[in-house]
């Protein structure tokens, strides 16, 4: 069930309303009686940031949002205020709430973002006690916000919902072929062109990385090409997004080391879902930028016919790779896609992947590991977009010395480095297959959470969709 985000030019009567104020001095006194103002002031003196008034026909909420030192931190605080507001709305069983910025600014957009993302639920497989969220509609009003802004945000949040749905889908409901079908259905009617290459076509392209990872499976791999090319695109060369689409990962013969580490490996296609979600948002908002998504998809299973540590495989590029760990499979399928991207003469390629546990261990679930060969201006723009979405980026180096980690005695390179700098050696492996401006995003720490975290919730977060959308829209208008 989706949470509908709408716009109203005037404040609807007798509707539960949350009034947002950045400080006590900006309290819209005209909305309250003398007794209500007295109660509100007493609550604010007690340091309350959320005050509730029962108006009999509806509820009135006062949300106090103190400005932070940086604008982006203020925006994040507003999103978290949206999460806190949802807890109160749920307790009061509110189905429709209006957000009004008492300071006539854009705070309502960020509170709505946190509110709608917090209200996501994935309950489609429950047959008993399936209680969907009570809140159905969020309406924004106020002179500081326009219908266009609200529509854009609604489409972006819908894209995050779609992305979360894809990642949360159980592995028995999502083979590589099924993932392709789900993406095609999701993008139907958006204007995004979808082409799905089957196993025979993948074999003809000699994508040895993708085919080797798929070897143990009874399910065929797919290679998905998504293209958004509006007539008014501002870029002559496309931007390409490459998403890791491992729909389920056992680790292969290098089986996952701990008993419960496979429980959430349905999330190993989070990069693929993020690519599809980003294309959805761009198309729904008609962003004038030519963007192509490439998604290699397969599972990584265990069987006697699977590829094994010690194998040497030939990639789509023609290079040989010594496989020393079958659980380092994501980089193999991404490498084929990165080489395939060369045919488009791209201005920039960004790959998104739950690639390494090392990235998660390095910076936790608080940020995304980034590295690449794109120029500093592009990387700075991406970092700024990360600050805007609060999907912050930490750049790791790609010094030449890291290539030594991948030296093989019998092949052009091996697919895993040593115990140190694991996230970087994985990025260095991918760099080998590029010859264009490129950025790698390792979302292993942020894509799927095992405990709730404010508006990101629990399980699939839709990581990097909002980040990529903000970045790409900035490039379209640059």
Find the catalytic residue in 80, 88, 256, 342.
256
CA separation for the pair 10, 30 (Å, rounded): 16
From start to end of 148-221, where are the E strands? 193-197
- The string over 379-408, giving b where at least 16 C-beta atoms fall within 10 Å of a residue's C-beta and e elsewhere, is bebbbebbbbbbbbbbebebeeebbebbee
CA separation for the pair 342, 238 (Å, rounded): 11
Find the catalytic residue in 164, 284, 331, 466.
331
Residue pair 429/441 in contact (Cβ under 8 Å)? The answer is no
Degrees to nearest 5, angle at CA 470 with 466 and 475: 145
Inter-CA distances, 323 with 209, 310, 313, 414, 434, Å = 10, 5, 7, 6, 20
331 is catalytic: yes
Inter-CA distances, 446 with 111, 149, 202, 420, 450, Å = 21, 27, 31, 21, 10
> What tokens does 111 get?
């509170």
Element (H or E) spanning 424, and its range? Answer: helix 422-431
Runs of H (alpha helix) within 229-356: 270-284, 330-340
Element (H or E) spanning 59, and its range? Answer: strand 59-64
CA separation for the pair 193, 232 (Å, rounded): 16
From start to end of 127-181, where are the E strands? 137-141
Q: At what angle do helices 71-91 and 107-118 cross, to 10 degrees?
A: 50
Residue written as tokens 């894809």? 166
428 is catalytic: no
Active-site residues, by number, are 256, 331
């Amino acid at each position: 069930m989706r949470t509908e985000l709408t716009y109203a030019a005037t404040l609807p009567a007798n509707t539960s309303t949350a009034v947002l104020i950045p400080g006590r001095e900006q309290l819209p006194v005209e909305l309250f009686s003398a007794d209500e103002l007295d109660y509100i002031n007493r609550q604010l003196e007690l340091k309350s940031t959320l005050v509730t008034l029962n108006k009999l026909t509806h509820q009135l909420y006062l949300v106090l949002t103190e400005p932070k030192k940086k604008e982006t931190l203020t925006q994040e605080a507003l999103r978290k205020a949206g999460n806190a507001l949802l807890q109160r709305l749920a307790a009061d069983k509110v189905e429709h709430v209006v957000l009004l910025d008492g300071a006539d600014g854009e705070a309502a957009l960020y509170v709505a973002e946190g509110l709608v993302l917090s209200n996501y639920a994935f309950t489609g497989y429950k047959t008993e006690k399936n209680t969907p969220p009570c809140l159905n509609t969020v309406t924004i009003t106020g002179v500081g916000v326009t219908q266009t802004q609200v529509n854009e945000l609604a489409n972006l949040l819908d894209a995050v919902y779609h992305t979360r749905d894809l990642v949360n889908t159980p592995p028995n409901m999502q083979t590589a072929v099924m993932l392709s079908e789900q993406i095609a259905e999701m993008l139907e009617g958006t204007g995004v062109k979808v082409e799905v290459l089957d196993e025979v076509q993948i074999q003809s392209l000699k994508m040895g990385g993708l085919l080797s990872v798929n070897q143990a499976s009874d399910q065929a791999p797919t290679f998905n090409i998504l293209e958004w090319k509006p007539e008014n695109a501002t870029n002559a060369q496309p931007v390409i997004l490459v998403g890791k689409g491992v729909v389920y990962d056992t680790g292969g013969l290098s089986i996952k080391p701990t008993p419960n580490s496979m429980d959430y490996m349905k999330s190993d296609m989070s990069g693929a879902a993020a690519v599809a979600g980003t294309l959805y948002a761009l198309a729904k908002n008609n962003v004038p930028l030519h963007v192509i998504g490439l998604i290699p998809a397969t599972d990584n299973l265990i069987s006697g016919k699977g590829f094994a540590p010690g194998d040497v495989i030939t990639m789509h590029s023609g290079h040989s790779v010594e496989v020393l760990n079958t659980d380092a499979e994501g980089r193999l399928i991404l490498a084929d896609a990165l080489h395939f991207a060369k045919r488009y003469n791209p201005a920039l390629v960004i790959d998104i992947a739950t690639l390494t546990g090392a990235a998660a261990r390095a910076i936790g679930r608080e940020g995304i590991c980034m590295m690449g060969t794109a120029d500093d201006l592009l990387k700075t723009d991406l970092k700024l977009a990360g600050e805007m979405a609060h999907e912050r980026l930490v750049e790791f180096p790609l010094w030449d010395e890291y290539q030594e980690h991948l030296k093989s005695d019998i092949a052009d390179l091996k697919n895993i480095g040593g115990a140190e700098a694991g996230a970087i050696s994985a990025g260095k492996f991918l760099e080998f297959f590029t010859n264009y401006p490129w950025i790698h995003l390792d979302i292993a720490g942020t894509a799927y959470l095992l405990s709730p975290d404010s508006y990101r919730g629990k399980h699939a977060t839709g990581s990097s969709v909002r980040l990529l959308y903000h970045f790409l829209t900035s490039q379209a208008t640059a």
